[in-house]
């Protein structure tokens, strides 16, 4: 079954190159309107320019898609909120968030400055927190949302010279899992209310509760692109609320 995102709006952070660019192009190819966010700085986070984001937007538009560029730093909560406000003003919705922005400042722990450790954690972890917080109520009010985190084996297993990066990436796993639990608990309560209303109205049907729960996970990815399936509008349970572990939105 083909995965489509027609009518959906996706924000992809760190989308000016690499994996983020691939996310943005793949979502746009499947019909999503895409916000290409990228600070445009160097690999270590220094500098900044909207050029990288604008180049990806140009690729999407040349292929017949719709996109807008944004050069906000994900570490700046006010700038992230302004980005979401601009998206809502232009397209009126945010359906998908891919938290992909990141930097590298690799050194052995003995040689690493604490500022470099903090900065990497700030971009990867707090950047994801800032973006997720900015879209959370939008998705909750729409009763629909998909949030994907880009993590790494460096977090799960460690990697030489990447104590900062590994710690940040493993923290994203904890954030992702906890958001899913928060959301699932809320969904259970929401499903319970819907069941009671339905019973009072005398309508039949199976239990809504069985559609939710941390034990339910998505199907395999689309052609080696699990991120695409995680954002698929058909991946969720009842009422458009997705129970997969890397997406969280609900009542």
Structure tokens at 120: 């990497």
Per-residue confidence (pLDDT) for residue 2, from 0 to 100: 86
| Res. 112: pLDDT tops 70 | yes
**How much is the pTM?**
0.77
DSSP code at position 210: G
Higher pLDDT, 219 or 113: 113
Query: Is 165 among the catalytic positions?
Result: yes
Q: How confident is the model at residue 50 (pLDDT cuts 50, 70, 90)?
A: confident
| Res. 17: pLDDT tops 60 | yes
Nearest to 93 by CA among 189, 166, 6: 6
Cα Rg, the chain, nearest whole Å: 19
Per-residue confidence (pLDDT) for residue 157, from 0 to 100: 95
Rounded mean pLDDT of 215-231? Answer: 45
Per-residue confidence (pLDDT) for residue 120, from 0 to 100: 97
Alpha helix (H) ranges present in 50-162? Answer: 51-62, 77-91, 114-121, 127-142, 153-157
Q: Would you call 74 exposed, middle or buried from its count of C-beta atoms within 10 A (0-12, 13-18, 19+)?
A: buried
Residues 69-111 pLDDT 10s = 999 999 999 999 999 999 999 999 999 999 999 999 999 999 9
Q: Buried b vs exposed e over 80-105: b needs ≥16 C-beta within 10 Å?
A: bbebbeebeeebebbbbbbbbbbbbb
Higher pLDDT, 212 or 164: 164
| Res. 243: pLDDT tops 80 | no
Q: Which of 128, 165, 183, 241 is catalytic?
A: 165
- 200's CB contacts (< 8 A; 6+ apart) are none
Instruction: Please give the mean pLDDT across all residues of the chain.
Output: 81
Percentage of the chain modeled with pLDDT above 90 = 65
Per-residue confidence (pLDDT) for residue 205, from 0 to 100: 44
Rounded mean pLDDT of 168-195? Answer: 74
């Amino acid at each position: 079954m083909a995965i489509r995102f027609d009518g959906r709006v996706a924000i992809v952070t760190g989308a000016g190159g690499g994996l983020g660019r691939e996310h943005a192009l793949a979502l746009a190819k499947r019909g999503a309107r895409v916000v290409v966010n990228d600070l445009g700085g160097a690999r270590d986070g220094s500098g900044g320019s909207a050029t990288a984001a604008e180049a990806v937007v140009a690729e999407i538009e040349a292929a017949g898609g719709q996109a807008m560029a944004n050069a906000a730093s994900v570490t700046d909560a006010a700038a992230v909120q302004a980005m979401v406000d601009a998206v809502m003003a232009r397209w009126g919705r945010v359906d998908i968030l891919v938290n992909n922005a990141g930097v590298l400042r690799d050194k052995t722990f003995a040689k690493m400055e604490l500022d470099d450790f903090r900065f990497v954690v700030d971009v990867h972890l707090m950047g994801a927190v800032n973006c997720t917080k900015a879209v959370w109520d939008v998705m909750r009010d729409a009763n629909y949302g998909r949030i994907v985190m880009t993590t790494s084996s460096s977090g799960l297993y460690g990697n030489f010279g990447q104590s900062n990066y590994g710690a940040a990436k493993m923290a994203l796993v904890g954030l992702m899992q906890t958001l899913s639990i928060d959301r699932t608990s809320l969904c259970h309560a929401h499903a319970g209310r819907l069941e009671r209303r339905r019973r009072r109205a005398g309508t039949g049907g199976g239990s809504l509760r069985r559609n939710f729960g941390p034990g339910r996970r998505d199907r395999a990815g689309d052609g080696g692109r699990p991120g695409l399936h995680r954002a698929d509008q058909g991946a969720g349970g009842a009422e458009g609320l997705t129970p997969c572990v890397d997406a969280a939105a609900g009542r």
